[in-house]
Chains A and B, each alone.
Chain A
Amino acid sequence: MSVQGVVLACGGERRFGDLVTQDRPRHMLDLGFNPIVWHALQTLEHGGVKDVRLVARGDHAASRFEAWLREGYDGGCDVQVVAAADDADTADALRAAMPTVNPDAQVLAVISGDLVTDVRLSDVLATHVRGGAVATCLLAKRRAWNGVDMKVGRPPKGAHYVGLANDKLLLMADEEDVDKVLKLRRPMLGRVRDLVVHTDLLDAQLYVLDRAQVKTMLDDKPRMTSLQLDVIPALVRRQFRAQPAGSAGPEQAVQSHVTSETSDDGLMEAVFGVANQGAGHGGGTSTPSPPTTQPCCAHLAPDDAYCARVDTVVPALLEVSREIASSQPGDAAHLNGRKMSKYENFVDPSVVIGGKSTIGPGCVVNAGTQFGEKCSVKRSVVGAGCHVGSGVKLVNCVVMNRATIEDGATVQGSVIGPRAVIGAGASLRECLVEAEFEVEEGDDVRSETLRNKSR
């Protein structure tokens, strides 16, 4: 089976504020040693998909991706960058990529450019083929930091409702569809015996799609703009659509139903309804009619798998950066792309560390960064070319490239944007410092977003 990989690197820039610029699309932000999008490409490559289209928003962003692929990319995928419109949402992006995909490919592996996972794509493809599906989604348990806001007596905020019966995907709805009451249509209920509706699952936005059918749908419904909100739910609903009167009347549908259900109908009937079955089934046991609609499937990530999307700075970027540096159970240091040192951290050989400074386990320090004396770095990710003064404490932080942290500063649970400066003796806790912002000496800031106002 020929599989075409498509990486959708578009949308969601707004949540990244100043960290994203024209020259730095959000999927090019560093996550450990590599840009975010590298992880999506890794997933495809490990799944044996080498032929990849990467869709970016606009020509400029596309050229940035191309530059990185030329110069920085170390993976084995053969990536062709496609520029979609500046305001393209995911379905638009896929539509833009359609003309360029390999016409022989039966199946598209569409992956969101911000997905970080160690779920094997081949497993998802296997689920897809086994189920004879038109679409297969990867679902995973939500990480602890990505939970749904629940209040007793109210619908969960921002929840995504996913209905599963074994590996069949039967319901995809979000808050907008649900509006206080979740309506389950009877044809769907009739199809399964045991449906479990989850709100604790994350749609990882890795889809395996039947190329021909999805292409038809995208062409037929030009108003669908979002893959996860429009196209996939439409495919899920289509499973239960009544047969068109011309092709297969209800009679025929019934017959196929009967034949398919005889097997699981229990022995009671087999023993006591013998005569009755013989009579009733004389005409019904003819050739089973082919399935009229293809199902949608879901591949549920195993419990020990890692699966997260970097769709926000806080918490997603902060948490994922640290989790792929940590060897704690449940975390994913193996996704980092480098070998862990004996201190259980990742420190580039070019890093200069001053006397009595310690870099604890679960840390990443990228090339060219310098530390002064008596620094303490714990469970933090420090980008390339940073300057860290003496006596600095970094705990649970992400420090992006070429940031400067001056002597005696203490930073906890924060994200420091590129080229930002933290003044000497400043203390930050749970802050987001955006690009090039300068925190004054000795400032004490908690739980704030600091951003330069000239926007």
Chain B
Amino acid sequence: MPSKGQSRSKGGEEAKVPLQAVVLADSFTHRFRPITLERPKTLLPLANVPMIEYTLEFLASNGVEEVFIFCCAHADQLTQYIENSAWSSTAGFVVHTIVSTNCISAGEALRLIDHKHVIRSDFILISGDTVANMDLRRALEAHRERRKTERLAIMTCCFKTITRRQREEHLGESNLVVAMDPATGRVLHYDEQASPSLPDANASPKRAKAKLSPLSLDASLFSEHPSVRVRTDLQDCHVDICAPEVLMLFTDNFDYQHLRRDFVCGTLNERELGNNIYAHELGAREYATRITNLRTYDAVSRDVIGRWVYPVCPDVNCLPRGDPTAFTHRWPQTYLEKGADVDPSAVVGAGCVVGAGCVVGPGAKISRSVLGRGVVVGAGASIDGSYVMQNAKIGANASVTSALVCEGAVVHESAVIGKGAIIAYDVVVGAGHVVADYSRISLAPQPAHDDDVDSDDELEIGSFGGGGGARLSDPSRQMARSDSKGSFGGGGGFDEDDDEGPGGVYLTDLDRALLQRAKEGTAGDATTERWAPEGVGVGGAGHAWAPRWGEEEWRFGIAPVPPGSSDAAYARDDALDSDDDDAHVRSGAKPAAVGGGDGSNSGTDSDGEGEALESHFRKEVAETFLRCVKHGYEQANAVVELQGLKMAENRTFADIARYVLMTILGLSLPAPRDVTKENSKLYPAKAPDNTPALLKSIRERLKQWAPLLSRFLKSEDDQVEMLLTLEDYCAEDEVFKGMHGALLVPSFAKILHLLYDMDVLSEVSVLAWAEEKGLAGEEDKRFLKLAQPFVDWLKEADSESDGSGSDSSEASSSDEE
């Protein structure tokens, strides 16, 4: 059959498009400073393998055939790395690098990729710092299956189940709430907020975050999804499967910067466009985490060492591709690479990775730490929970706890590195110096805007998603960012710096020589003039950076967070959020209200406010109607206008009809006070002298508009309602004050008759009105008495036509049919 053949060939064509992936090798944030001032983050080794290797391996093992690596900061280092690595020569796996050094956000990067027209079908969007072993094929299949039936399912985000404590203490991520449809997994709401701060954090009052506002879900969601699952137990893996439309959306919305805050929230908010985002949940054995800060770096390192990401673990020895490591695994989770020289008296405890060429001196204690290749650990040194990179030296009896010591750095004898500290490339810490907890030391001076309160923390974890997709389009913020960019002089991207080797641009030749001596430990106090000894000690080299002002280092530092600290923060936050019962008791909300009512206080409420609203609405109707009269609109157009008003004010047709009638009647009377000058020309200067003249004028008006009225008066109840309003009008009650309605009182019965003749009122409704009024108090019977002759006449007519009544009703019904 031709159709079958066609579809098969089509399927074949589709299959020919290679599976593509976009890797963003820049997180566009400052979290990893000062390390990222000198090297790109994606090249930072994790268990002695650069992070991008994990990402590329993950993609390759899931059948991705073509990868576009978007390089921004330190693009040259990255491209060079890729060129020299085995990735550039792997069969069936093509790696392209796209370089743009002036991008400041993921949004810009994706716009650029869109302009290059390289993406041909659904692709994987991932960050270059992702460690994962998840089965991407399963997610892809689900995504493609959905796309077959739902073209606008443009994105599938991967989530992993996790507890809040794991997410915030273990991974250092923010408070994430995702609402989704329980049946389909469609994401309905994405809300990410900064976690509450600790009570004892010495945060500045300015930064101390107010209590978390309640999560706001648009109630109209429930019309499409009768039940909504609100999940606080998810970790966003930042592995997305996107349709090419995603890139187009980024181009269309040129202000989209952040993938989640702008794109996901924006898409979810603009439901009328119909684009949908779905969640894919990882299985229990699947793993995918993006390294967004040092806390995640630590957590993911531990997971890799602990074999939670199997087969991604050190002793598999497949990474880096082409030049793999050579670890052997030893219980308990210790990995030694061939050629590591560990003194027999040294203790290498659980959870350690020791690279080739390491020399661990006698009596040294190493636990839960990663040592890069060629690290030298002196005798009696102790290293716990730390990451010491290639060729760094830890002196004898030095102590390093939960710190990051970068490539080439030297920690001299008996120095103490406090928890959470970052010792950047080639920094030298003088002998015996104590580096405070959470300090950051780099050869590069601290950029002027690094401690800018609002700069990037807000970018990364700032609250968003709550209401209406708050965007970071604040111009002053943008300015601050371009400022900070300019201040490097290097002119590159956001966390980018010099184009030279480590520390190059900051050092003169003299400095270099000095640094060399400092590393050897022979500089003595010669360094104190160049580098302040308060930061690095005598004989040290490097600048101690000012702490991020008010930043909660514990949350994002490499040191493990004390267990329960996030809970403490939440407990405090919750305490601020106490809820008062009395505020919710509706029937007794007002102290003045007497208890034991029927549960509604609308009676007291509506008197003042209700009348004002009603008066406003009456005016609206009158003005709309007068405009139609003034311009001589066709009836049909007037209907459209009034219907629009009905929709806008959320009223019934009867409401419109009532006030239109009053306006029609009013047109035969002097202009009311609240009519605009222009419209007042439509009214006569004074009321007609006698009743017949008045009636004549009313009759003419009514003749014109009766069809409109009967069109709006859908039922007898509506007509009765209108009669009641007419009473109010004539009595100049409530909203009709000062409208000269009293002038109509003498002709009340005549007006009823007129309306009856014009088929605006039916006899049934007039009689119903009369009956209802008959039960009312004497006071209220004033108009009934006026109308009595007419009502009596109707009743007579009614009983006369009783015999033929059924006939006529049948006739009319058959007419309708």
Contacts and interface: CB of A to CB of B under 8 A. Distances in A.
Contact of B170 (A155, A192, A269): A269
Nearest to B775: A455
Nearest to A150: B223
Interface string A222-264: 1111100110011001101111000000110111011001001
Given A193-B231, A444-B813, A153 B220 contact: yes
A255 to B, nearest CB: 8
Contacts of A440: 806
Nearest to A14: B598
B226 A198 contact: yes
Interface in A167-200: 176-187, 189-190, 192-200
Contact of A225 (B224, B576, B582, B597): B597
A280 interface: yes
A261 B165 contact: yes
A1 interface: no
Interface string A264-285: 1110110111111100110010
B166 A254 contact: no
A148 B215 CA distance: 24
Contacts of B161: 193
Interface string A298-310: 0000000000000
Interface string B493-534: 000000000000000000000000000000000000000000
Q: For this complex, into which size category does the number of interface residues on chain B fall? A: 35 or more
B227 A87 contact: no
Which of A230, A255, A281 is the most central at the interface, judged by chain B CB atoms within 10 Å of its CB? A230
B577 A186 contact: yes
Nearest to B562: A280
A183 B579 CA distance: 13
A268 B182 contact: no
B545 interface: no
A144 interface: no
A221 B306 contact: no
Contacts of B564: 254-255, 257-258, 280, 284
A273 B587 contact: no
A89 B351 CA distance: 65
A161 interface: yes
Contact of B217 (A182, A234, A251): A182
A11 to B, nearest CB: 9
A182 B226 contact: no
A451 B588 CA distance: 35
Contacts of A181: 216-219
Contact of B177 (A189, A226, A277, A443): A189
Given A183-B214, A196-B229, A250 B563 contact: no
Contacts of B226: 148, 150, 156, 198-200
B746 to A, nearest CB: 30
Given A268-B302, A271-B306, A85 B567 contact: no
Contact of A198 (B227, B271, B560): B227
Contact of A182 (B175, B219, B570, B813): B219
Contacts of B166: 265-266, 268-269
Contact of A192 (B232, B272, B560, B597): B232
A251 B565 CA distance: 10
Given A87-B596, A233-B584, A281-B563, A156 B222 contact: yes
B578 A241 contact: yes
B586 interface: yes
Given A183-B215, A242-B577, A250 B231 contact: no
A159 interface: yes
Contact of A195 (B229, B571, B572, B597): B229
A180 B806 contact: no
Interface residues of A, number: 83
Contact of A185 (B227, B350, B579): B579
A92 B596 contact: yes
B341 interface: no
B563 A258 contact: yes
B803 interface: no
A151 interface: yes
Interface string B539-581: 0000000000000000000001011100110111111111101
A442 B232 CA distance: 64
Contact of B308 (A196, A251, A268, A444): A268
Contacts of A187: 570, 573-574, 577
A272 B215 contact: no
B163 interface: yes
B771 interface: yes
Contact of A238 (B164, B219, B581): B581
Nearest to A155: B219
B185 to A, nearest CB: 13
Nearest to B211: A186
Which of A152, A163, A238, A275 is the most central at the interface, judged by chain B CB atoms within 10 Å of its CB? A275
Given A184-B217, A197-B227, A229-B586, A268 B306 contact: yes
B560 A273 contact: yes
Contacts of B571: 250, 253-254, 257
Nearest to B805: A440
B599 A89 contact: yes
A454 to B, nearest CB: 9
A176 to B, nearest CB: 7
A442 B805 CA distance: 12
B456 interface: no
B587 A224 contact: yes
Contacts of A225: 587-588, 595-599
B578 A223 contact: no
A250 B575 contact: yes
A240 B577 CA distance: 9
Contacts of A342: none
Contact of A152 (B223, B228, B231, B567): B223
Nearest to A142: B226
A408 B447 CA distance: 96
Contacts of A148: 226
A154 interface: yes
B212 interface: yes
A70 interface: no
Contacts of B199: 250
B694 interface: no
A407 B231 CA distance: 62
Contacts of B599: 89, 225-226, 229
A265 B567 CA distance: 13
Contacts of A130: none
A176 B368 contact: no
A184 B230 contact: yes
B599 to A, nearest CB: 5
Contacts of A264: 163
A197 B217 contact: yes
A193 B306 contact: no
A243 B575 contact: yes
A194 B212 contact: no
Contacts of B570: 186-187, 190
A224 B222 contact: no
Interface in B364-381: 367-368
8 contacts: A150-B222, A183-B214, A184-B215, A194-B231, A196-B182, A223-B585, A229-B599, A254-B571
Interface of A: 85, 87-89, 92, 148, 150-156, 159, 161, 163, 176-187, 189-190, 192-200, 221-226, 229-230, 233-234, 237-238, 240-243, 250-251, 253-255, 257-258, 261, 264-266, 268-269, 271-277, 280-281, 284, 440, 442-444, 453
Interface of B: 161-166, 170, 175, 177, 182, 199, 211-212, 214-220, 222-224, 226-233, 271-272, 302-303, 305-306, 308, 350-351, 367-368, 560, 562-564, 567-568, 570-579, 581-582, 584-588, 593, 595-599, 768, 771, 806, 810, 813
4 closest Cβ contacts across the A-B interface?
A223-B588, A193-B233, A155-B219, A200-B226
Given A154-B220, A193-B231, 9 more contacts: A148-B226, A182-B217, A187-B570, A192-B232, A222-B595, A241-B578, A268-B306, A269-B166, A453-B768
